[in-house]
Amino acid sequence: MIRKERAILALEDGTVYRGYAFGHRGETVGEVVFNTSMTGYQEIMTDPSYNGQIVTITYPHVGNYGVAIYDMESNKPYVRGFISREFSGEYSNHRAQQSLEAFMQQYGVVSIQGIDTRALVRRLRTGGVVKGVIAHRSYTHPEDAYGEFTPAEEQVYVQRARDHQDIDGHDMTREVTTALPYAFPTLRHGKRVVLMDFGIKHTIIERLAEVGIEPIVVPAHTTPAQIMALQPHGLFLSNGPGDPAPLEYAHKTAWELMGLLPTFGICLGHQILGLAAGGQTFKMKFGHRGGNQPVKNLLTGNVEITSQNHGYAVDLDSIPNGAFVATHINLNDGTLEGMAHARYPVFSVQYHPEASPGPHDSRYLFDRFIEEIDAFDGGTGTPIAKALPGRLGV
C-alpha cells in the first residue's frame, strides 16, 4: 500500500476535511469556492479573477492531460489553493510540457486531494462560500509527514481561517493589474481600444485582436485624461477578482468616460459599469463558476451556454433613471447577466464570452463591440438597448 502525506482542509465554520498533500508543500488560506468545469484546470488556475480563492474542482479526476504553456491565462497561477477528489500523477498530451503537480510545485500552489468534494460542494451551496486553510503535515512536521493532525492542531487552522481577511470590501485588483501600459502586437492596423486591466485574461486580449482591435492594456488606476490622451476608438473594462465596491477610482473613470467612447465590460467590468451609473452590487451565496451556465439573450430569445466566474452581481433595479436595461439573464437563478445603456453605446455581460475554458456561444459579443466602434459618430451613437435585436444577437 502506497503511503501518502497527510493534509487537511479546515473551514471557518469548524468543518475539517482530511486528505492527502499534492502540489507545493506548505499552507495556504483563502475563500473556498467551487467550479463545475470538466476541463480547463490550467486556465482556471491562471485566471487572475481567482486571486484570493481556494478552488474546488467538482470533476473527480484532474490533471490527466498535464500543463501546456499555450493555455496560460496570465503569467502565473493566482489561485490560493486547489482541491480535487483525485489528482493525476501522470499525464498524456502531445501539447503538454509538464505534469500538473510539477506546475504547482514550480509556482507554489498548495493543494489537497482525497477528500469528499461532493460533500464540500454541498456545504458551500447550502451555507455559502467560506474561508478555509489547506495545511500539509510535511510542512509543519517533516519528520512525521504521514501522521494525522491532532484535534488541537486542526482547531488552530480553523481559527486561522476565521481570522483571515474577507474578500468583501477589499481591493483585490491591486495585486493583479499590470504595473505599466503595454500594446498587444497585432498583424494588422485596427481600431485602437484601451483595455483597463483589473485582472485581464490573455484570451480576452487575443479575441479582441482577432476582430480588428489594436489593444492597449493600461493599469487599473489609469485616469480618464490618460486614457483619452491615447486617442482610443473604444474602452474595454476587464474581468478581475473580488468585490467591485471598493474600486471607487474605477467607478469614477467609467462614469466620466460613459458616452465619450463605445464601451464593453466583462465580469468585474460589468459590475463597475453598474456601480459607475449609481447602482449597487451584492454578494451571491456561492456565485457562478463553471462552463455550463445557461443565459437567455432577451433581445433575441436565444439561450447561450456560458463560461462564468464571479461571486458578485449587479442589482439592475438599483441603477437610477433606468440608465441601463437588461439584455441577458441567468436561467438558473434569474440574476442579471448582461445590460446595455439606454442612450450610449455602452454594454456589458457578467459572464466570459472568450470562454477559456468553456463553450463559444457568446463570442459574437466581440464582433458586436467592433460594430459599435465602427458605428460611433462621436455623439451618443445608436442606443444598443433600442437597436434591432441583431445588434446583440447571433
| Residues labelled as active-site residues | 267, 352, 354
Give the distance, in angstroms, between the CA of residue 274 and the centroid of all CA atoms in the same chain: 18
- H/E stretch holding 78 reads none
- Does the annotation list 268 as a binding residue? yes
- Does the annotation list 49 as a binding residue? yes
- Cα 90–109–202 angle (5° rounding)? 90
- Cα 148–135–173 angle (5° rounding)? 170
Beta-carbon contacts of residue 326 (< 8 Å; ≥ 6 apart): 298, 316, 336, 338, 339
Range list of β-strands (E), the chain = 6-11, 16-23, 27-35, 53-57, 61-62, 81-84, 86-87, 110-113, 130-136, 182-183, 191-197, 213-219, 234-237, 263-266, 280-297, 303-315, 324-330, 336-341, 346-349
Please state whether beta strands 263-266 and 346-349 pair in parallel, antiparallel, or not at all (unpaired): parallel
Closest CA to 318 of 267, 276, 265: 276
In this structure, what C-alpha cell is assigned to residue 380? Answer: 451618443
Q: For residue 10, what are the β-bridge partners?
A: 16, 133
Q: For residue 348, what are the β-bridge partners?
A: 265, 339
Q: CA-CA distance, 168 to 113, in Å (whole number)?
A: 28
- Does the annotation list 37 as a binding residue? no
The string of DSSP codes covering 219-243 is: ETT--HHHHHHT--SEEEE---SS-
Contact 152, 140 (CB under 8 A): no
Q: CA-CA distance, 225 to 143, in Å (whole number)?
A: 59
- Does the annotation list 239 as a binding residue? no
Closest CA to 295 of 330, 253, 323, 333: 330
Which amino acids are annotated as binding site for L-glutamine, given as ranges?
Answer: 49, 240, 242, 268, 271, 309, 311-312
Which amino acids are annotated as binding site, given as ranges?
Answer: 49, 240, 242, 268, 271, 309, 311-312
